[in-house]
Structure 1
């Protein structure tokens, strides 16, 4: 089967879905790998690197015309969707719940679509879970970005001129990104606090040295390993419990997202008004509306003396590492889905069932066609 690796078209995303190393491994498995020209250039992978691995360099038009499988990271844009052919298979983060019209177009073209972001949170799928691999890097990068934007340093420092107190960091959301943010901030010497609707994350946060701000969630917890939308009552009680720490924080990192829905609003403008002058908020949920009321995607907003940086969970700025991890996830996923270079179409398998969104022109919902 011919695999076509597309260059990312989303502004600011420097990643590539398949690296030269993984291209070589796919070729060894019997696939014919073809890569769009300069697809890996922004991740420091040259066309010649792919050629040495055994892949061929092609134009976008050639890939859409001749590939059996088309792979990328972000959802296909409208121009790309219109180029799909009947019988082609697309694999990407499709975010199908929030992009239903894209799924409709894929179905109308008679194509098949697998969504990497729909991977179930089960042990068998851990090495295919792109959300975990990418969020891990995003949590690290959020702290580094915060350190650059702050006017203070993280660690306690004793000098002849006096003692510098350690910075205070507050992390909203103790998923993969939040845990890495906690670990990184602690390594840099900060005092770290964290909160999450999922009480099972308390032990994880504390194991990394953070103080966990516990709010009774009355059984709201999580669903399928993902955080659920909090009730108004929980949101109110969380604000009351966290405000003291929020108003003292030098850096706040928010990571709370619910698949297919707007990011939960965790920090209002009224709360921002009461934060320390010079504090920094890194909002990793800005792409889905933001956890802070004042966040604007891909912009830095300074309001009430606080710097609010709206960004995403996608670690584009460390694209070499991010591409490497994403490519490994995709390789493991393809190995799981295929046998002898052919797709198994095992709809009884949970991984296949939950990630197969469009099957031969038919949109599927929870393992059933619709």
Structure 2
């Protein structure tokens, strides 16, 4: 079977779905790998590196003869239309935001897999792209804040006096949040973190940070995500967090749940109360924002603070983001590969959970409802 690595066509995307180091894992399973010319350049992988690893370089209409197409962002509807019936695509695919892509895959008879829908179970950890990319985003968020903050992060004791460490507050202690905590601590900041899941307190403390206690009930949910809260509870939480926000030099927000609007954690008055020169990094800006007024890809002045809205943050560190993403992709593809053929077994809960379309049918009821298809 022919596996094609597609070049990314969407703005601000520098990652690639397969890196040269992992080509051999697919070819040794009996798959032929073709890489669209230039696909890896954004992640610093030239065509020659793929050729040396055993892949072929393709140009022109590379999708026409593909059995499996790998990409980071979902293929556009016009590219999907060029695939043969029965072809398989593997990519990120936020179904609620990409209904036109889902429709195109359904109409073309394409089997589309979304890495965002991979179940959060132990056996699927090696395929969990949301986790691997959140790791990158959490690290990058702190670097952005440190670059833009007009102060030091670490404590500095000098003959000219002592400079206190920066005060960093991280809201959301999932993968991105914990990586932000760890990175800020490595840079010498004094770090506090909050999460609605009480179970995350030990993880925060293990990294040398203080866990903010608000005396509110825990909202531990399925799959490691938080449960939705009432608006009354959400407002009480915002009010209780406001003093911690205003006392911080840096605020990093990371709370997001796939397929849902990000919870609003911080309102504008709390940002306006921060000291001049403070930095706010909203990693959830693309899914609605944890901070009132954040805009993806834009820097806004709110009072004396700078509000940085995140847009495709993992792509800003494309080398390692691609390496991690490619490992997730390869592990999912190999799970479905038998005797040199990619043959999805929908009795497997990982395959079943990640499949969005197959054989002209949308497989998830909530997506069918969004498309107006009913049961």
TM-score in terms of structure 1 length: 0.95
In structure 2, relative to structure 1, the CA distance for the partners of 1:215 and 1:344 (3 Å cut) is farther
Aligned to 2:298: 299
Helix, strand or coil: the match of 1:239? Answer: helix
Structure 1 counterpart of 2:234: 235
Q: How does 1:1-370 map to 2 (within 5 A)?
A: 1-59=1-59, 61=61, 63-218=62-217, 220-312=219-311, 314-365=313-364, 370=375
Q: CA deviation at 1:362?
A: 0.7
The answer on whether the counterparts of 1:280 and 1:308 sit within 8 Å (CA) in structure 2 is: yes
* In 1, Cα distance between equivalents of 2:60 and 2:263: 38
Shift of 1:216: 4.8
In 2, Cα distance between equivalents of 1:322 and 1:241: 35
SS of 1:65's partner is coil
CA–CA distance in structure 1, aligned partners of residues 234 and 209 of structure 2? 21
RMSD: 1.8
Equivalenced residues, count: 369
1:163-208: per-residue Cα shift (whole Å, max 9, x none)? 1011000111111010000001111111111111222111111111
CA contact (8 A) 1:347 1:367 kept: no
Please list every run of 5 or more consecutive structure 1 residues that lacks an aligned counterpart in the other structure.
Answer: none
Q: Distance in 2 between matches of 1:133 and 1:59?
A: 30
CA contact (8 A) 1:71 1:92 kept: yes
Q: 1:74 to 1:60 in 2, by over 3 A?
A: farther
- CA deviation after TM superposition for structure 1 residue 367, in Å: 12
Distance 1:17 1:282 in 2: 27
User: What is the alpha-carbon distance in structure 1 between the residues aligned to residue 152 and residue 272 of structure 2?
Assistant: 23
On the 8 A contact 1:170/1:192 being kept in 2, the answer is yes
CA contact (8 A) 1:7 1:16 kept: yes
In 2, the alpha carbon distance for the partners of 1:216 and 1:85 equals: 56
Take 1:312 and 1:367, find their aligned partners in 2: how far apart are those partners? Answer: 26
TM-score w.r.t. length of structure 2: 0.94
Taking the aligned partners of 2:285 and 2:298, their CA distance within structure 1 comes to 10
Counterparts in 2 of 1:211 and 1:326: CA distance versus 1, 3 Å: same
CA deviation string 1:41-100 (max 9, x = no partner): 111101111111111111251x21010001101122233233233111111011113323
Pick which of 145-154 and 336-345 moved more. Answer: 336-345
